[in-house]
């Protein structure tokens, strides 16, 4: 008898708990379905709002995790460049999350999307080059094809890169002017990178001497000029090439190696000063174009 009473009391207690759980469930359901905004096409409830908030929080943590994975092996200066792009992507994903939640909640988005179609088309055309530059900037950073300090040549202009951004790259030219280069040019145009493999580059100076010059002496003097120039590397060793028998001169080239190709015009100027001084001291003439005219005496007599 006592045992049956205990069972009955347990069943009654269980039923009471289930009724309370059901009551809480109904209350939560009423709360979540309570309309915040209600119209013919749009019906937003508290549940829809909470789903949007939770989706945004989850997306935030997911993007932070992806950001850490992508930038884990990048230099510190390149990590900072991804802050802006992930900030941009964060808001894009937020908008997509809101649209997805609203659509799954039964909100009719057809009217909104139809009204915004023309705006989206206009934005697409306006942002075409922006996204092209940003994607190119991301690829440059990821594959490490360009670094700060690299010396590049673009459209016959030489510059030293001092800043790489997601949309543009900035370089300082030899005449102390800044070139702002859209990043898509590094993917679509041919660009010379003087320091891609290493900082040592080979440069050359061409000089012509008269046909009466001693070519062995010319070679010796050019080698002396290279050896005396501080900026010219001793290894690899400079070398002289006998380029050609030109119309008015014998053409030679002095080939040398340096570690700062950005300052090459100044080095070439110093080498030319030295070449001119040594040639003058040793009687080597640098010729200028000459023409010999021959007149026939018969024609002159006839004219007279």
Q: What pLDDT, on a 0 to 100 scale, did the predictor assign at position 114?
A: 64
Tens digits of residue pLDDT in 163-205: 888 788 899 998 889 999 998 888 888 888 888 778 888 999 9
pLDDT band at 254 (very low <50, low <70, confident <90, very high): very high
Q: Average pLDDT of 95-116?
A: 69
d(CA 280, CA 231): 23
d(CA 199, CA 273): 25
User: What kind and span of H or E run contains 139?
Assistant: helix 128-143
Considering the entire predicted model, what is its pTM? Answer: 0.59
Tens digits of residue pLDDT in 277-297: 999 999 999 887 766 666 666
DSSP 8-class letter at 256? E
Q: What pLDDT, on a 0 to 100 scale, did the predictor assign at position 143?
A: 75
Peptide bond preceding 236 in cis form (omega within 30 of 0): yes
The alpha carbon of 232 is separated from its chain's Cα centroid by a whole number of angstroms, namely 31
Residue ranges and CATH numbers for the domains of the chain are 33-109 (no CATH), 141-193 (2.30.30.60), 201-281 (3.30.70.100)
pLDDT band at 13 (very low <50, low <70, confident <90, very high): low
């Amino acid at each position: 008898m006592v045992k049956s009473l205990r069972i009955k009391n347990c069943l009654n207690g269980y039923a009471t708990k289930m009724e309370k759980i059901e009551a809480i469930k109904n209350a939560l359901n009423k709360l979540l379905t309570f309309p915040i905004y209600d119209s013919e096409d749009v019906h937003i409830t508290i549940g829809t709002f909470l789903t949007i908030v939770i989706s945004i929080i989850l997306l935030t943590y997911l993007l932070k995790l992806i950001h850490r994975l992508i930038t884990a092996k990048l230099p510190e200066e390149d990590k900072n460049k991804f802050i802006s792009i992930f900030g941009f992507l964060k808001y894009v994903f937020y908008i997509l999350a809101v649209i997805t939640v609203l659509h799954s909640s039964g909100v009719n988005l057809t009217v909104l999307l139809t009204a915004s179609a023309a705006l989206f088309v206009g934005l697409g055309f306006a942002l075409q080059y922006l996204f092209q530059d940003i994607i190119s900037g991301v690829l440059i950073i990821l594959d490490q094809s360009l670094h700060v300090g690299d010396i590049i040549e673009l459209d016959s202009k030489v510059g030293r890169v001092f800043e790489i951004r997601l949309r543009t790259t900035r370089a300082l030219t030899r005449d102390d002017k800044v070139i702002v280069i859209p990043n898509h040019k590094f993917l679509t145009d041919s660009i010379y990178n003087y320091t891609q493999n290493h900082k040592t580059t080979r440069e050359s100076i061409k000089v012509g001497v008269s046909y009466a010059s001693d070519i062995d002496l010319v070679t010796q003097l050019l080698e002396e000029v290279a050896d005396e120039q501080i900026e010219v590397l001793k290894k690899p060793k400079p070398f002289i090439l006998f380029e050609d028998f030109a119309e008015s001169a014998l053409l030679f080239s002095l080939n040398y190696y340096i570690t700062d190709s950005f300052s090459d015009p100044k080095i070439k100027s110093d080498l030319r000063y030295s070449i001119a001084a040594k040639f003058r001291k040793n009687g080597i003439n640098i010729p200028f174009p000459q023409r010999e005219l021959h007149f026939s005496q018969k024609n002159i007599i006839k004219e007279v």
